[in-house]
């Protein structure tokens, strides 16, 4: 069982948004970011008619969540996959549609808590950052082999790092002497490269660079860009997609996909929507919901969360074009 500080962000609100879609026999939730299974456990506990399919690219997370959720028997199924593979996962399980899809984006608490995974900047560790530790480039590979202009783009786009050019210039100088292998060396470089006034605001000076490297290593935005439309297409009437984002680019992508899904082809100046042109989906949340102050006080990760939900109200495809 996980410790109290591993309670998922906005857990009660997320379960409340999913419950109307999961209150019938045979209902199915796809938890696309299974992690330690906190969301899945809450749904299995509170929605007694539902079963959960948990997807994660991290085999360590799958092992831990299987153990945690074993008391629920065949109501829980764990699948090793990346969440843009939703159509394949459902096809393999013989499912045409599901009733709910949940995304809790970003790095999991388990990954942050294991130093050898290289996600955390507070301890020295190998620069890995792969959510699936058996596949793909590591953060060290990115630092040591990417062209300077690509590194600048990544730090600016994914990390919103204002000092991207200064940081990359320092990285290029240092990697010419010796390739990067550890987080400690990178953190020390960031302290040197970022001007003192900038270090005093916006949290730890390594936060933005580590976030950017993680998002690049795991191709997070491009995976999400494919996954949200696939999730919308996967839900049946009454089904809901719920997304928790922690980065402005992620939230913008979700907002855009949801807006496209609820749009109609009826001109704005038409006083009514003709039959057959009604949108197949509706927004459940008004804009993006945020965590209340009392939750952010006890869980710093909650401060940046943006929660959105959408529901299918008519048959038909509703994903973003």
Query: Binding site residues for S-adenosyl-L-methionine, as ranges?
Result: 37-39, 56, 83, 104, 111
Supply the DSSP string of 58-94, one letter for each residue. -HHHHHHHHHHTGGGGGGEEEEES-GGGHHHHHHHTT
Q: Which of 107, 212, 193 is nearest to 154 (CA)?
A: 212
Instruction: Please enumerate, by residue number, every residue annotated as part of a binding site.
Output: 37-39, 56, 83, 104, 111
Strands (E), the chain: 28-31, 51-56, 76-80, 98-104, 235-245, 281-283, 306-312
Q: Give the list of residues 6+ apart from residue 89 with CB closer than 8 angstroms, or none.
A: 30, 53, 55, 79, 81
Q: Which of helix, strand or coil describes residue 107?
A: coil
Q: Which residues pair with 260 in a beta bridge?
A: none
Angle at 154 between CA 148 and CA 160, to 5 degrees: 125
Q: Is 138:217 a contact under the CB 8 Å cutoff?
A: yes
């Amino acid at each position: 069982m996980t410790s109290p500080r591993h309670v998922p962000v906005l857990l009660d609100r997320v379960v409340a948004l999913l419950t109307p879609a999961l209150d019938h026999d045979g209902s199915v939730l796809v938890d696309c970011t299974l992690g330690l299974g906190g969301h899945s456990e809450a749904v299995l506990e509170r929605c007694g008619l539902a079963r959960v399919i948990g997807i994660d690219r991290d085999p360590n997370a799958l092992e831990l969540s299987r153990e945690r959720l074993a008391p629920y028997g065949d109501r829980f199924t764990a699948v090793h996959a990346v969440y843009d593979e939703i159509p394949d996962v459902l096809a393999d399980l013989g499912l045409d549609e599901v009733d709910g899809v949940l995304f809790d984006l970003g790095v999991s608490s388990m990954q942050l808590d294991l130093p050898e995974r290289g996600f955390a900047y507070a301890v020295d560790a190998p620069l890995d950052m792969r959510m699936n530790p058996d596949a793909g480039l590591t953060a060290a590979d990115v630092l040591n082999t990417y062209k300077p202009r690509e590194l600048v783009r990544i730090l600016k786009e994914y990390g919103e790092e204002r000092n991207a050019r200064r940081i990359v210039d320092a990285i290029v100088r240092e990697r010419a002497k010796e390739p990067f292998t550890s987080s400690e060396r990178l953190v020390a470089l960031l302290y040197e490269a970022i001007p003192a006034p900038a270090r005093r605001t916006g949290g730890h000076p390594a936060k933005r660079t580590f976030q950017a490297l993680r998002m690049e290593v795991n191709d997070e935005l491009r995976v999400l860009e494919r996954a949200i439309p696939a999730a919308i297409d996967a839900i049946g009437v009454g089904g809901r997609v719920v997304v928790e984002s922690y980065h402005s680019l992620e939230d913008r992508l979700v907002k855009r996909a949801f807006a496209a899904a609820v749009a109609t082809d009826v001109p704005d100046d038409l006083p009514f929507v003709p039959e057959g042109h009604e949108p197949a989906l509706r927004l459940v949340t008004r804009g993006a919901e945020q965590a209340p102050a009392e939750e952010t006080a006890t869980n710093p990760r909650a401060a940046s969360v943006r929660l959105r939900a959408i529901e299918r109200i008519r048959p038909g495809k509703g994903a973003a074009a």
